Amino acid sequence: QFADNAFAGVTVLKTAHVENNRLTQLPRNFPFDKMETLTISRNPWHCSCQLAPLRKWLKGNRTRAEDTCSTPAQHRGQPIRDTPALRSCKLPTKRSRKGSRH
């Protein structure tokens, strides 16, 4: 697994290949903003709200293969993009995460 701060300070990451690992989550600060290519297949993803940013990215990038949830059991085999497990998740906004004062 990645440490929670594994991507601290990373502002531009365009390509990441993390397939064929035993990843269940991505860190909360995973830099999706500039991501163009992300391969995440063959990982036992745990479909909780921590994957909500991944779901948002998948919805905006329809050119890639779909990846599925492994856990929780009731969502096993469901596409991350479409699973009901992530439908009600609230995505953090940059403003609420960092504060809007400069």
| pTM for the structure as a whole | 0.82
With respect to residue 67, please indicate whether it lies within any of the assigned structural domains. yes
State how many domains the chain has: 1
Model pLDDT, residue 89: 92
How large is the average pLDDT for residues 53-66? 82
Has residue 15 got a pLDDT over 70?
A: yes
CATH number for the domain spanning 35: value is 3.80.10.10
* Angle in degrees, CA 27, 31, 36, rounded to 5: 125
55: in domain:
yes
- Is 56 inside any structural domain? yes
Write down the pLDDT at residue 45: 97
Residue 54 lies in a domain: yes
In a domain, 91, yes or no: no
Ordered DSSP codes for 77-98: T-BTTT-GGGTTPPPPPHHHHH
Domain that holds residue 52: 14-77
Per the domain annotation, does 89 fall within a domain?
A: no
The residue-averaged pLDDT of 40-48 equals 95
CA distance 82 to 15: 23
Q: Is 21 within the bounds of a domain? A: yes
pLDDT of residue 92: 66
pLDDT in tens, 61-97: 866 667 999 999 999 999 999 999 998 998 866 554 4
